[in-house]
Structure 1
Amino acid sequence: MPESDSWEYSLHIPNDVRAVTVSRRTLRLILTVHGLITLVDVAELLAAELVANAVRHTKGPAALRVRWSPPGTLRIGAWDADPSPPEPPEPFAAALEREDGRGLALVRACADVWDWQPLVRDGNRGKFVWCEVGAA
């Protein structure tokens, strides 16, 4: 059963494609130790897409942030150093026909809500793209 207290983890990641795997595995461990195993599959997919976008479309470091808020909301977000807004996701069916550009379409299809915001972190401008899923 999920914990009733709020918690948050941040993982600072380099601009390296291996960061996607590290992020997924770290998120799986976090959710497992907090008793949220039912959210692992969808959360891993969402985190992988957000981190992959941060690594693929920017040249600097990035960060994954995971926050649990009672009574049952998991927020997953990725910060990157590019302050420009993410490309709006295409409808999921249209995105499936392309070689790239499916990330935010998957996020939109699998998350309860998603959005982005400009963000200043450690004196650098960037953006934070996030999504939320609820524990059913």
Structure 2
Amino acid sequence: MATVSPENPWSYTLNLPNDPRSAWIARITLRGVLSSHELNELRDDAELLTSELVTNAYRYSDGAVELRIRELATPGIRISVWDTNPEVPEPFEQPVLRPVEPRRTDTTYGRGLLIVRRCADNWGSTSYGHRWYGPGFRGKWLWCELGAKRGAEGAGRAKVTPLVSGT
């Protein structure tokens, strides 16, 4: 159970360089945040999703990355990652009118974001690349939410199915 009431929600922001070590630093920071707010039951899923979002930002943008972790009004957290590439990847386009599956020939593109979609309770994106927001302001937010788990172990946990049949 969270130690802070929904009337006074908490939020943390971490600025990261465009560096392959950023996902590791983001996971360490996330562990500290979840531990300090007694949300350790979210740790495994939250670390996986944070790692995928930050890695995607590193791989497909050329600027700094920003990680935000904040408490939701209902028990849970939102993990948001900003990067300088305004293009929203196909697995996060909205609305999703059809299931998105990676092509068999793709070895990396989109697989991490499909993991986020399948494991998160909610997810989405906002792009700032097609409107004027000021000089040099472009990029996007990709975010996901995880609710605090209740009851028996694994209750409410997203079921992960293979991304490609036969794997």
TM-score exceeds 0.5: yes
The alpha-carbon distance between structure 1 residues 62 and 97, as it changes in their structure 2 partners (threshold 3 A), is same
Q: Which structure 2 residues correspond to residues 55-70 of structure 1 after superposition, within 5 A? A: 55-70=58-73
- Aligned to 1:40, what secondary structure does the other structure show? helix
Aligned to 1:2: 2
RMSD: 2.2
Q: Structure 1 counterpart of 2:91, which letter? A: P
Aligned to 2:113: 104
- Does residue 132 (structure 1) correspond to residue 145 (structure 2)? The answer is yes
Higher helix share: 1
1:95–1:102 CA contact under 8 A, matched in 2? no
* 4+ runs deviating over 6 angstroms: none
Partners of 2:59 and 2:78 in 1: how far apart? Answer: 22
TM-score (norm 2): 0.73
- Aligned to 1:85, what secondary structure does the other structure show? coil
Identical amino acids, percent of aligned pairs: 44
| 1:97 Cα offset (Å) | 7.9
The alpha-carbon distance between structure 1 residues 83 and 25, as it changes in their structure 2 partners (threshold 3 A), is same
Partners of 1:78 and 1:50 in 2: how far apart? Answer: 6
Aligned length, in residue pairs: 134
Residue among 42, 54, 58 paired with 1:39: 42
Higher strand share: 1
Q: Which segment is superposed worse, 121-130 or 74-83?
A: 121-130
Q: Which segment is superposed worse, 82-91 or 123-132?
A: 82-91
User: Runs of 5+ in structure 1 lacking a partner?
Assistant: none
Partners of 2:78 and 2:135 in 1: how far apart? Answer: 21
User: Runs of 5+ in structure 2 lacking a partner?
Assistant: 93-99, 150-167
1:95–1:105 CA contact under 8 A, matched in 2? no
Highest CA radius of gyration, 1 or 2? 2
TM-score (norm 1): 0.89
